[in-house]
Every structure is written in structure tokens, then in C-alpha cells.
Structure 1
Amino acid sequence: MKKEIELVAMDIDGTILGKNKTLSERTKTVFQKAAEKGIHLVVASGRAVQAVPEEIRRLQGVEYVISSNGSSIFRLSDGQRIYEKDLTSDQIDALLAFYDGYSCPIEVFIQGHPYTSEAYYHEPEKFGADSLAAEYVRTTRCPVADIRQFIQKHKKEIEGVNFIVYDPELKKEMRSHLESFGGLYVTSSVPRYIEISHGDVCKRNALIWLNGFLGIPREHTVAFGDGENDLEMIQYAGIGVAMGNGTDGLKAAADVIARPCDEDGVARLLEEMLEI
């Protein structure tokens, strides 16, 4: 199944990182071989760029990171943010007014760095995080004493806002209200997150921009993902791939369904597509 491929865009969690949160040797080998063929490897994640594991950012061929669900594109060679679409000050004011009615933790991404309230940083387990997720929070987030005041101070430079909502009924209620605002992109990459960005944001729009920047047609692009926030990117790519562990909606929209992440689904399919 050899295809003419110039760019591979890939989500992280549940796509190239499985339950143990490390890249398999098979995946690293395939990425190296793809890079040697001159193929652009692009990370496309809901994570802030500074929360992307260093072993991924250092991979040969990984030149760009689409981060914060498409709010930003960072060029790794010099750390420059080459594409940006932040929330507006008015949107931040509306989100803070909405947040006053709830007591859940909150996160914000600013220039690639994630910040969160101290209570969540110190005890993420109280808010539904398992041991691996708790370690991720403590090793990637910067704790802030007064997160509301911090957001107000930086409201002209916020890529995205996350509400951490463990109760599924409360999450459903909050998400419904947020979606009624208009002008916002609201998604969820993991069950306890509501992720909010500017309405023009999604991984697809960032990938469209990057394809234009690099002069690569969509037909020569393959994209891999597993979750709701990958849907638009999967629909856009010349070859949209859902992981075997992906959501039903994503699988229905995909051109191809790969083996699950923990079975090296991305690596296996790229070996077939690129004959490597």
C-alpha cells in the first residue's frame, strides 16, 4: 500500500504514546527511516508544546509541533511560534465570568507553557487523575497561587483554557453552556477535560496553514489520531487514520483504521505505506 507521502501528522496520547507513555523502539526506528526519506514529521497535540515529551521533540525529522489543539505551531529548530490564534480578551472575560459559577481546577496555555491552580498541581488525584496522569501534571504544569488573577493579567496571550471536570454530568452541563457561547472551539481529548480555544482553532486549520507554508498538498499528507480533537484533521488529510483504540466517531470518519496504539499501530501502517 505504498502512497506518495510528504508529511505525517500525528497526535501523541493514545496515538504514538500508549499506556506506558514512552515511544516504542519500533516506532522510533520507523520515524527515523521516514525522516531519512525526507518526510516531514509533525506532532499535532492538545498539549502545550513544553508538555510534549523531550524524546519526541528530539526525534530526527520532527520539525514542527501543532500544539494546544491547533492554537499554535512551533518550529523546534529555534523555538519560534510561527502560527498563532489566541483567545480574545473578550472571550477570556466571558470564560472567567462563567468559571465563577464552578469550583473545578483550570489550566491555561501561554506561549507554549501550561499553568494551573496550585490545588490541582499538588493533588491532581483529587480531581480524577490516575498515577500516570498525576505525574504528568506535576512534571509539566507551573503552579499558580491565584489562577484567576493570573489569567486576567495574561488575557491577551492565552492559547487555550482547560477545565478539569471529573463528574461526567457536570462536564456535560458545563460543555453545553460553553458551546452556546459561540466563537469558541470546545473539545475533549480525555474524559475529565473540557478544552477551549478560539473558534477558528482546530488541528485541521493549523495543518492547512503548515501545508501551505511547506508547499505540501493535502493529498500527500497522512494524519493519525485517536480522539475527538483529531476529527477535523483526520477528515482533512489525504489519508486520515484512526487508531484501533480511537473513538467510534473518529473511526467512522477515517479512511483507514490502524492497529491500536499499544500494538504500534502508527509504525505498522507507515511501514506498509512507505515500504520501510
Structure 2
Amino acid sequence: MYLLIASDLDGTLLLPGDTFGAFTKSVIHSLNRAGHHIVLATGRHQTDVESLLDSQSLPVHLITSNGARISSACGGLALSEELPASVVRTLIEETREDTDLTINLYCQSGWLMNREDRNLRDFSQNPGFQPTICATENLPLSTVQKVFFFQRNKDHQALTRLQARLEQRLGSQISTVFTFAWCLEVMTRDVSKGNALRQLADFLNVPIQACIAFGDGMNDADMLAGVGKGVLMGNAHTELFQALPDAEVIGPCTDEAVAHYLSKHLLQSTALPA
């Protein structure tokens, strides 16, 4: 039986419009009462996720900022991995002159963005968590969980070249991942959803093989590959299907496919086949 259930949010557990479906909420509560741990593993800021959960009272653990922050539902575990100030300075210096890039920072204080960007609507639909515009020269260097870049023309190849430059310059000091084809994210080294989930599983004393995970993007790949069972959404990115060709595929997020899968396999039976 899978004791720990991990799910990405956008494109996986959430419906369009950043909402939890009624059936999904019901299944989460039922799983919790049955003794399962549920963790939301997302690239979003913790404040963003907490604003979505505010009226839901869902009993969940949180992995946010693509693994840079971990919070247990009981409050006994609260970890934050921040980028060194020297790395943040280098990231800003490397990109500040590129007018096709928007620099974003997730800090303890919230979300900072160095200029307005028309792609913002495609990135966040939560009115309770929006960026504060901050001049590039005033962006903070400390308490930064991740730096991420929007390519204003959605040019993936331009971001791929940027990724190569940053990794060449900063080497093992950083980890990088694409949340969208036009959004490159940079965290400190070894930060990922998969590593964070292993830390949370250790805290909960749950073997990682007793975990099932759901996702749709490349920032979910190491999490899905490292658990007892990784499940892909029908709406997953092409690159994720290519990275995990043997993984089970279920329906799209618009059908609340994760909740239906869990209801069928964990609530209506005593065990889930491996």
C-alpha cells in the first residue's frame, strides 16, 4: 500500500483557474482519515499555495519552490534551502541587460519581478499571490529560494542557451529546471522535488517505495522516477513522456484524474498493484 501520496499542482491536481475540484477535496479528506499522508509538490511559493488552501482546510504537507522549501502538516518539519547571495548576484548580472528576459525572485517576503511581463497571466491566475515590481538594482540577494526567468517571446531555445551559460559559469552551485518551455528556474544545488520528497518521507518514517507520485512537467521528473510508482497525467509535457516512457498514464487534470485514480486504487481496495 502507498502511505505517502505526492502530487504536483498545476496541470495535475488543480483545475483551470487555480481551484481544487469538489471531488478532489473529498478524496484528500478521505485518504487522510484512512491514514495516508498527502503532499503537494509544486514550483509555487508557499504563500501562494497557502492562499489556495486557506478556505479548504486540506490536511497536506507542502513542498514548494520546486523543493527549496518543505513544511510538514504537523509543523514539526520546516526547511528552506536558499541560494547563496553570490549566486543570486551572478544570476542578475548575467541577465540584467537582456530585455527579452524578466527576472523573478521567490524570497521569504514573497515574489519580486524586475519588470511587467505579458506572460504573467499564463504563469499565475491566483489573485491572492501576485508579484511586486522591483527595479533590477534593488532586487535582494539574500533569503532567495529560487530565481526564475520568463522569456518574453516564449523562445525556448534562447532559454536553453541561457541555461547552458549559467551552468557553465556556476557549475555545481545551482540546479536548473524548466517549469514551462519559456520559464527557466534556478535553485541552489541538489534542490528538487525528488530530493525534498525523500527528506519528507524520512521525517514521516515512510519508505520512499511506499510513495506514489503524480505530475505533468519536467520539474516532476526526478520525483516521479524516485518513488514506488510514478504516474503521468494525460496532459503531461512531451519531454516527460520521453523521459519516463514506461510510466502509467492517466487522464487530464480537467477530469480530476488524480482523485479518481486514488479513489479507485486506494479507497476502494486495500492495495495498489506495483
In which range does the TM-score fall when normalised by the shorter chain? 0.7 to 0.9
2:72–2:200 Cα contact (<8 Å) kept? no
1:98 alignment counterpart: 94
Q: Matched residues in 2 for 1:55 and 1:96: separation?
A: 30
Would you identify which runs of 4 or more consecutive aligned residues in structure 1 move more than 4 Å? 132-135
1:26 alignment counterpart: 23
2:15–2:254 Cα contact (<8 Å) kept? yes
- Is the alpha carbon distance of 1:143 and 1:268 closer, same or farther for their aligned partners in structure 2, counting shifts above 3 Å? same
- Is the alpha carbon distance of 1:159 and 1:200 closer, same or farther for their aligned partners in structure 2, counting shifts above 3 Å? same
Asked whether 1:244 is paired with 2:234, we answer yes
1:60 alignment counterpart: 58
Asked whether 1:197 is paired with 2:183, we answer no
- Is the alpha carbon distance of 1:33 and 1:81 closer, same or farther for their aligned partners in structure 2, counting shifts above 3 Å? closer
1:51–1:114 Cα contact (<8 Å) kept? no
1:20 offset after TM fit, Å?
A: 3.2
Amino acid aligned to 2:176: V
2:151 alignment counterpart: 165
- Is the alpha carbon distance of 1:156 and 1:145 closer, same or farther for their aligned partners in structure 2, counting shifts above 3 Å? closer
Task: Select the residue among 137, 144, 150 that pairs with 2:139.
Answer: 150
Identity %: 25
2:70 aligns to what SS in structure 1? strand
Q: Matched residues in 2 for 1:91 and 1:55: separation?
A: 31
1:272 offset after TM fit, Å?
A: 2.0
1:61 aligns to what SS in structure 2? coil
1:226 alignment counterpart: 216
Q: Matched residues in 2 for 1:257 and 1:178: separation?
A: 34
1:242–1:258 Cα contact (<8 Å) kept? yes
Amino acid aligned to 1:13: D
Asked whether 1:217 is paired with 2:207, we answer yes
1:8 alignment counterpart: 5
- Is the alpha carbon distance of 1:89 and 1:134 closer, same or farther for their aligned partners in structure 2, counting shifts above 3 Å? closer
Q: Matched residues in 1 for 2:87 and 2:120: separation?
A: 28
1:9 aligns to what SS in structure 2? strand
TM-score, length-scaled by structure 2: 0.86
Q: Residues 88-113 of structure 1, C-alpha deviation per residue, up to 9 Å, x if partnerless?
A: 12211211220233122211111272
Q: Matched residues in 1 for 2:109 and 2:64: separation?
A: 8
1:250 offset after TM fit, Å?
A: 2.3
Task: Select the residue among 249, 252, 273 that pairs with 1:260.
Answer: 252
C-alpha RMSD of the superposition: 2.2
1:222–1:237 Cα contact (<8 Å) kept? yes
Amino acid aligned to 1:88: P
TM-score, length-scaled by structure 1: 0.86
Amino acid aligned to 2:20: L
Q: Residues 126-164 of structure 1, C-alpha deviation per residue, up to 9 Å, x if partnerless?
A: xx344x64644x64134143243232xxx2311100111
- Is the alpha carbon distance of 1:68 and 1:43 closer, same or farther for their aligned partners in structure 2, counting shifts above 3 Å? same
Q: Matched residues in 1 for 2:196 and 2:45: separation?
A: 14
2:43 aligns to what SS in structure 1? coil
Q: Extract unaligned runs of 5+ from structure 2.
A: 269-274
Amino acid aligned to 2:84: T
1:141 aligns to what SS in structure 2? coil
1:273 offset after TM fit, Å?
A: 1.7
* Number of matched pairs: 260
Deviates most, 106-115 or 233-242: 106-115
- Is the alpha carbon distance of 1:50 and 1:32 closer, same or farther for their aligned partners in structure 2, counting shifts above 3 Å? same
1:49–1:65 Cα contact (<8 Å) kept? yes
1:50–1:114 Cα contact (<8 Å) kept? no
